[in-house]
Amino acid sequence: MKKIIRILSEFVSARWLRKWNSREKLEKYQDKKLEKQIKYFEKKSPYFMKHKVDLNDFFMNKQFMMENFDELNTVGVRKDEAFKIAIDGEETRNFSEKYKNISVGLSSGTSGHRGMFVTTDDEQNMWAGFILAKMLPKNKLFGNRIAFFLRADNNLYKSINSFFIKLKYFDLFQDFETYVDELNNYNPTILVAPASMLLVLCKKKLDGILKINPIQIISVAEILEKKDEEFIKEVFGVKMVYQIYQATEGLLGYTCHCGSIHLNEECIKFEKYYIDEKRFYPIISDFRRKSQPFIKYKLNDILIENKNRCECGSVFTRIDKIEGRSDDIFFFKDKSGKLKKVFPDFIRRCILFSEEIREYQVFQVDFDKLEVAVLEIKDFQKKEITKEFDKLFEKLGIEGVKIDFIEYTPEKNVKLRRIFQKIKKEL
């Protein structure tokens, strides 16, 4: 009963009560909450008890978090022991074991470093109420059946299950054919999956194997490209594909009913480290999560800001796109030998200008060499792709880049990265 009350309380607050009509009021609310959060950590976190934190020059990142994990968290979790539980869950595919009644989980490690997160029962219930408030359809609050596809399950996700909603986890490590019947019989009203899995489901739907007709589709964990979004909408007959921007560091953003991605400034204060006029790296300070401090925490995600007010009326920062990570930026040498930065979007466009391409990856393996992998590529598509890259390089004053077309063989059961910078040299 305590769980249900907590979920419902958070649901009501997040859906109807917590509203701001100006940035000024929102920022005052954030600063007040953050000040209170710091005081809490100064009493409960061994690290914050030992070190006086000045927010003007203090920063965290994943490496800092993992190096100081034992002292940072407030619930007495030891990294080595918790890591073993998390790894055992990955290997056995049983994610129910806890560490001293604390749930632990791992990030996918796509940036080269695995992060670990901890959540208490109360935080899980709060998260469940919040995510349901933001993502449940307006005209169907009760009786929803959620099909949830992800690499790893966690007690955090199970917290959603209650008397008015059901969630069934489908393991991405399993062969899809093994649970087609189960998925059809479950007949979810809401489908949640990474973009690459949504494309697999689309193909099964077109083949007549998949019979489900969800009223809402939510893309998670991977970048959703516009071309894929349009295809998913067409196949499933939905008006919109929603997105949840979630990471080890928390629930960072979500799509509103008008189709814009908004940062979750209701729970997190975001600072912006701008790369250019519209792209920035977010620096987050979570002022609601008590078990694990994320204060002035630098993310390497590249976000593209839309500074126009959304039609939904929200004062939260509006994001046009989650473009990728800093790891996904390509570097080439121009005619003078100077390194030029090329953002992932420019690489994507060179591929997507060619018709009928959906499954692809582009790897930068050296400053003057790209590898392009496209599923069932045709000769005319190779010519079109090469032409687009030539146009891009000419515009940027870059010469001598060789493009090799290789077999499309994405690594199974890991988060798909379409744009992948693999240069081992120091940039």
- On the question of pLDDT at 416 being above 70, the answer is yes
- On the question of pLDDT at 129 being above 50, the answer is yes
pLDDT band at 127 (very low <50, low <70, confident <90, very high): confident
Residue 52 has what pLDDT? 87
- C-alpha 193/C-alpha 414 separation (Å) is 13
User: Can you give the three-state secondary structure of 380-395, one letter per residue?
Assistant: HHHHHHHHHHHHHHHH
Q: What is the mean pLDDT of the segment spanning 292-305?
A: 95
Lookup: tokens for 151: 């690499």
- C-alpha 49/C-alpha 145 separation (Å) is 44
Residue 169 has what pLDDT? 87
- C-alpha 421/C-alpha 416 separation (Å) is 13
- On the question of pLDDT at 349 being above 70, the answer is yes
Backbone φ and ψ for 288, nearest 5 degrees, come out as -125, -25
pLDDT band at 312 (very low <50, low <70, confident <90, very high): very high
- On the question of pLDDT at 426 being above 70, the answer is no
Are 20 and 266 a contacting pair, CB within 8 Å?
no
- C-alpha 128/C-alpha 143 separation (Å) is 16
Q: What is the mean pLDDT of the segment spanning 60-72?
A: 94
Looking at domain 1-327, its CATH class is: alpha beta
Q: What percent of the chain has pLDDT over 70?
A: 93
Lookup: tokens for 128: 């469940």
- On the question of pLDDT at 235 being above 60, the answer is yes
User: Comparing 189-193, 195-199, 251-255, which segment has the lowest mean pLDDT?
Assistant: 195-199
CA distances from 216 to 139, 147, 234, 262, 293 (A): 11, 11, 13, 18, 33
Mention every residue, 6+ apart, whose C-beta is less than 8 A from residue 270.
Answer: 263, 282, 283, 284, 317
Mean pLDDT rounded to a whole number for the chain: 89
Q: Parse the chain into domains and list their residue ranges.
A: 1-327, 329-421
The domain made up of 329-421 is a member of CATH 1.10.40:
no
- On the question of pLDDT at 397 being above 50, the answer is yes
More confident residue, 399 or 36: 36
Are 44 and 74 a contacting pair, CB within 8 Å?
yes
Residue 128 has what pLDDT? 87
Are 280 and 286 a contacting pair, CB within 8 Å?
no
What DSSP line would sit under 156-177, residue for residue? HHHTT-BTTEEEEEEETTS-GG
pLDDT band at 317 (very low <50, low <70, confident <90, very high): very high
Classify each residue of 217-249 as buried b or exposed e, where b means 16 or more C-beta atoms within 10 Å of its C-beta. bbbbbbbbbeebbebbeebbebeebbbbbbbbb
Residue 38 has what pLDDT? 96
pLDDT band at 113 (very low <50, low <70, confident <90, very high): low
Residue 344 has what pLDDT? 87
Q: What percent of the chain has pLDDT over 90?
A: 58
Residue 163 has what pLDDT? 60
Q: Identify the residue whose tokens are 């870059």.
A: 398
Are 255 and 322 a contacting pair, CB within 8 Å?
no
Q: What is the mean pLDDT of the segment spanning 17-42?
A: 96
Residue 112 has what pLDDT? 47
Are 140 and 109 a contacting pair, CB within 8 Å?
no
More confident residue, 105 or 15: 15
User: Comparing 265-279, 294-308, 339-353, which segment has the lowest mean pLDDT?
Assistant: 339-353
The answer to whether the Cα torsion of 301, 305, 310, 314 is positive or negative is: positive
Residue 94 has what pLDDT? 64
β-bridge mates for residue 321, sequence order: 304
- On the question of pLDDT at 354 being above 90, the answer is no
- C-alpha 268/C-alpha 288 separation (Å) is 8
DSSP H or E stretch at residue 6: helix 2-12
